Chain A
Amino acid sequence: MSALGELSALGRKKPAGQKKDNLAAYLFLSPWLLGLFAITIGPMIASLYLAFTDYNLIQAPEWIGFENFTRMLSDERLHNSLRVTFTYVFVSVPLQLAVALLLAVVLDRGVRGMAFYRSIFYLPSLLGSSVAIAILWRQVFGTEGLLNQVLALVGIDGKGWISDPSTALGTLVVLNVWTFGSPMVIFLAGLRQIPTMYYEAASVDGAGVLGRFFRITLPLLTPIIFFNLVLQIIHAFQSFTQAFVVSGGTGGPSDSTMFFTLYLYDRGFGNFDMGYASAMAWFLLVIIGAFTAANFFASKYWVFYDD
């Protein structure tokens, strides 16, 4: 009774109270909003303007209309950077998610010291895009690196994995797959949501491990897979640090690790071509947006919501 009274009192006071609440909310949000406008939205608007100019960083930008965009059509190095980026995204993201899912399923089966393993496997995700790890990668995959020393033990002649254009991108794919920890943690959370009674019922009906995985786990996990897929694709398109550090800032050898972002940086800061670089940034935004939209569209056909 008294609770109901309170509720109705709340209902009556609502307009004034809400205004006050909103104000408080905005106040609490203000540091973040300030950052959003000063560090994100502001520069974005500036870069949209710069995309239509010839801007060499030092002198004032000069309006050139769509010239930067038409130039992209005939820029072969840009086309190459798109090839490299797409290869990277389409190879490393599925591999990474597969590894993440596999380990999540294994860990979910109640391994002893699960918290420990979870932390250990999550660690690379925190470190993966750091400069230190990229430097480590150079050491591991260099001509005299760790990998070749291990290969030498079993009598295989290694090679300069990072300095050979045919394998350099592969080392970056491995680096990305290695950071499977964050999708894995999300998968683990998703697995917890699947009611055990489904498994029990399936077991009673004689379903094996694989059957249970493909008939129960996978379908019920599709929303989580979808979420991870969208997130990791966006993330992979934006990769920069790994390629920059591993290739010594060149995108080499022979542009084989020249991600779109790296080429953008090279144009903007290496070639004093900030107008073109800004246009490239907006092009990348369109690409990522298109992929995300396509993902959401396709999700209607394969993602299963259990409600």
Chain B
Amino acid sequence: MRPLIPPTAGRRLRALAAVAIATTLLAASACGGDSGGDSGSANGEVTLRFTWWGGDTRTKLTQQAIDAYQKDHPNVKIKGEFGEWSGYWDKLATTVAANDAPDIIQMDEKYLREYADRGALLDLKKAEGLDTGKFENDTLSAGEFDGGLYGLNAGINSFAIVANPAVFKAAGVALPDDTTWTWDDYNRIAAELSTKLNGKGWGTGAPGTNEAALNLWARQHGESLWTPDGKLGVSPGQVTAFYQNLLKLRDAKAIPSAEFVSQDMNAALDQGAMATGKLAMSWMWSNQLNAMSKAAGQELKLLRVPSVEGKASANGSYYKGSMFWSISSRSKHQKEAAEFVNYLANSTAAGSILLAERGVPPNTEIRAAVTPKLAPADAASAKFIQDIGKELGNPSPAPPVGGGQVEKIIQRYTTEVLFGRQTPDKAAQGFIDEVNGELK
């Protein structure tokens, strides 16, 4: 019998099949992702999905806390889903839309209302087994609105400048006195650092790669990014002034080139210019000191942000809930999820693993228990938070629904200004119009 397919065609077909398989695999890898999977089974075992953003340090610590919990609760299995900040929100929105939201969600202030207003989050006041009695006054309020508690404060932080003393030393520049420095001092010192580093690094990262620096600027000038009634509170004049100062920094070469800033803007924490020792100073949240120090392999130092008059008490700083624990309103295991969140927030065991990586614990008992155990970097950020306590002004109003977009918007206009494609006043107006357009 003659074979149906001639040998050469057979070979060709086989090659084709190989190509087809390879293509399918590529396509599959491009889609990636996990398909949730239903939790719960006959023998009372419960699987909770827990999602967070953050770098390696956070992931390791969080996994340790999960392991410890699972040991004590053999019927609960917790599946961690984690990623970098930049892709986190797209993924969360997609899973929530697909009715496949993780049970426990690490939430940010920017998106809290967005999700809570749409009924995606559980009112934690109604959750069984979650105790907030030991929380410091005021630390709950940021997650509270319309009479419900939708996010439980996971740690306190503050926006600050992180300095790399080794780079300062290499440049032969003294660390500034951060209780008295002004914006002019900041600009001058950063430019001097760049000059002395002579191409090996720069004085500072650009303010304006997220909205927090603009908020501080506004607060120093009697305004604020958001108003308590959920509107944009910053005027075109102050955004213009903020961008004019950014141009001063650029022209003095105090910050890296526009291309570099734009590339660094969404880099992962441990791959950014601060972590690789190219910057003497950068803007970031105080709780990131530990992760950033680890990534840089250096002991970094937190500095108060500069102010207009050189008075730390007038630099606009405020305590922020660094992040929140939320539970999906559609979780099938709300009780177990609440118990786990209770463990994260109120147990010394979890506290001594997580330490202050997510910010200073808002539970005062845990804070007291944890403080002696803190690694130098966490201890330093905890001390920083304590030190600035007496200098703080009013709390900063929470972003309204739609306010989560402000980060991407300011990044875009900062890029426009740095590349000289828009003047500060035009960018300021564009920024304000666009943010107002997003608010619903």
**Interface residues, chain A, with chain B CB atoms under 8 Å away:** 56-59, 126-127, 129-132, 142-143, 159-160, 162-166, 241, 248-250, 252-255, 265, 269-272, 274
| Residues of B within 8 A of A (CB-CB), count | 37
The answer to whether B93 touches A254 (Cβ under 8 A) is no
Are B405 and A271 interface neighbours, CB within 8 A? Answer: yes
The closest CB in chain B to the CB of A138 belongs to: B263
Number of residue pairs across A and B with beta carbons under 8 Å?
95
In the complex, the answer to whether B415 meets A252 with C-beta atoms within 8 Å is yes
Q: B134 in the interface, Cβ–Cβ < 8 Å? A: no
- Known contacts A165-B421, A248-B266: A269-B90 contact under CB 8 Å: yes
- Grouping DSSP codes into helix (H, G, I), strand (E, B) and loop, the A interface class, with mixed when no group exceeds half, is loop
- Spot the interface stretch: B228-236, B253-261, B317-325: B253-261
* B166 contacts the other chain (CB 8 A): no
Contact B86 A248 (CB under 8 A): yes
Q: Let me know if B259 and A163 touch, CB within 8 A.
A: yes
**Alpha-carbon distance A162/B263, docked complex (angstroms):** 8
Q: Tell which of A130, A249, A254 touches B86, judged by Cβ atoms closer than 8 Å.
A: A249
Nearest chain B CB to A115 CB, angstrom units = 10
B interface vs A, CB < 8 Å? 19, 22-23, 26, 29-30, 32, 86-87, 89-90, 93-94, 96-97, 114-115, 118-120, 257-260, 262-263, 265-266, 405, 408, 411-412, 415-416, 419, 421, 438
B30 touches A130 (CB 8 A): yes
Nearest CB of A to B380, in Å? 30
Inter-chain contacts of B419 with A (CB < 8 A): 164-166, 253-254
Q: Which residues does chain B contribute within 8 Å of A143, judged by CB atoms?
A: 259-260, 263
B266, A163: Cβ atoms under 8 Å? Answer: no
Contact partner of B19 (CB less than 8 A), chosen from A126, A130, A159, A162, is A126
Of all chain A residues, the one with the shortest Cβ separation from B405 is A271
Q: Which residues of B contact A127 (CB under 8 A)?
A: 26
CB–CB B412/A254 < 8 A: yes
Decide if B411 touches A250 in the complex (CB within 8 Å). Answer: yes
Known: A59-B118, A160-B263. 19 other contacts (CB 8 A): A56-B118, A57-B96, A57-B97, A57-B118, A58-B97, A58-B119, A126-B22, A130-B30, A131-B30, A131-B32, A143-B259, A160-B262, A164-B419, A165-B415, A165-B421, A249-B90, A249-B266, A253-B415, A254-B262
Contact between chains at B260 and A160 (CB < 8 Å): yes
Q: In the assembled complex, which residues on chain A have CB atoms less than 8 Å from the CB atom of B257?
A: 160
A265 vs B94: C-alpha distance in the bound complex, in angstroms? 11
For B121, the closest partner residue in chain A by CB is: A58
Contact A250 B408 (CB under 8 A): yes
CB-CB nearest 8 A-B residue pairs = A160-B259, A57-B97, A163-B263, A58-B118, A163-B262, A248-B266, A253-B262, A163-B259
Interface pair A58/B96, CB less than 8 Å apart = yes
A130 vs B421: C-alpha distance when bound (angstroms): 32
**Option from A59, A162, A274 in Cβ contact (under 8 Å) with B119:** A59
